[in-house]
Amino acid sequence: MALSYWKRLRHRIELAGVRLLIRLPAVLPLRWSVRAGGEILGRIAFDTVRIRRRVTLENLERAFGGALSPAERARIGRRSYINFAKSMIEFASIGRLGGQRLRRLVAVRDRRHIDGALSRGKGVVVVTGHFGSWELLGAASVAHGMPADFLVGEQSNKSIDDLINGLRRAAGIGIIARGIAARGVFASLKAGRMVALLSDQDARRAGIFVEFFGIPSSTYPGAAQFALRTGAPIVCCFIVRNPDETHEAIFLPPIEPDQSAPRDEETARLTGAYTRALEEAVRKHPDHYFWAHRRWKTRPPRENAVAL
């Protein structure tokens, strides 16, 4: 289907913006680009353009309630936008950094958890979220010798989709498209690789409801289902930014699937476990999380029934 004029124009503007991010670190030192560029772009997005600012502040209020004042929510929201902008600049640079520089930029903590899980030969389902510089996390994992594939969705802007996946491939990350998700994931796990999934967005009716910050949240159960089908352990991993713009990748102990348990119950248990791990990381570093997503948009049927 042909795109409308306005959609084509929007796609061109989006592509120009992404290309600008890619060129910025090419003409300026990376650390300066990340620090200054992230501050400027993040503040413009939050304070001037106000892209999803209301959603961000509402999500912070839902998550933390009265524990945060309006001023504190605004401060965390602004830092979240700044961190997101910094992460996008870093992502735009991954194809040029090289393995040695990536290893210096991102240190690995508790690597024994992922190495032990990989040594079993069943592959590992790695779960993270829109937290910290998550794209850099994938590139750094490969640079540290961990064979990683990403399960990725398709962007509506085909040009940006191709550009983003090209950056990932340049960093050595394998790509599994959602259209062939099951087949690609099973092949990757059988080969003893890590398959990384972002499992923290509102899953609409495709999800199951588990608690995130005490609120029932529609959550993709794919990571749990893949683990149950293959026996591969689930390892949660999060990347934390240091004040000097270096990072730490933190691997948590494996979450073991019980293939003898009732499938629905075990899927819910595993999904709840990796969602709680993300919540713990967000509570420690709330400014690392991407609060602009409408995480609690889908409500459980019983809530809708009460509302009616």
Contact 247, 140 (CB under 8 A): yes
Cβ pair 215, 74 in contact under 8 A: no
Using the Cα atoms of residue 204, residue 209, residue 211 and residue 215 in order, give the sign of their dihedral.
positive
Q: Output the pLDDT for position 159.
A: 72
Q: What percent of the chain has pLDDT over 70?
A: 87
- Position 1 scores a pLDDT of 46
Q: What is the mean pLDDT of the chain?
A: 89
Q: Over the stretch 229-287, which tens digit does the pLDDT of each residue have?
A: 999 999 999 999 999 999 999 999 999 999 999 999 999 999 999 999 999 999 999 99
pLDDT given at position 303: 66
% of the chain with per-residue pLDDT over 90:
70
Q: What is the pLDDT of residues 173-190, one digit of tens each?
A: 999 977 667 889 999 999
pLDDT band at 33 (very low <50, low <70, confident <90, very high): confident
For residues 20-42, average pLDDT: 80
The overall longest dimension of the chain from CA atoms, in Å, is 58
Is the pTM value of this prediction over 0.85?
yes
pLDDT at 258: 97
pLDDT at 202 over 60: yes
Helix (H, G, I), strand (E, B) or coil at 73: helix
Closest residue by Cα to residue 291 from 109, 18, 57: 57
> pLDDT category, 305, cuts 50, 70, 90?
very low
Amino acid at 260: S
Give the pLDDT confidence of 102-127 residue by residue, as tens digits: 999 999 999 999 999 999 999 999 99
- Residues 82 and 76: their CA atoms lie apart, in Å, by 10
Distance, in Å, from the CA atom of 306 to the CA atom of 308, rounded to the nearest integer, reads: 5
Tens digits of residue pLDDT in 142-168:
999 999 999 887 666 677 778 788 888
Nearest in space to 139 (alpha carbons), one of 115, 120, 166, 111:
166
Q: What angle (nearest 5°) sits at the alpha carbon of residue 123, between those of residues 114 and 161?
A: 95
The reported pLDDT for the residue numbered 77 is: 98
> Which tens digit of pLDDT belongs to each residue from 61-111?
999 998 999 999 999 999 999 999 999 899 888 878 889 999 999 999 999
Cβ–Cβ under 8 Å, residues 194 and 118? yes
Of the chain, the end-to-end C-alpha distance in Å amounts to 38
Return the minimum-mean-pLDDT range out of 15-24, 196-205, 289-298.
15-24
Q: What is the pLDDT of residue 182?
A: 82
> How far is C-alpha 302 from the geometric centre of its chain's CA atoms?
29
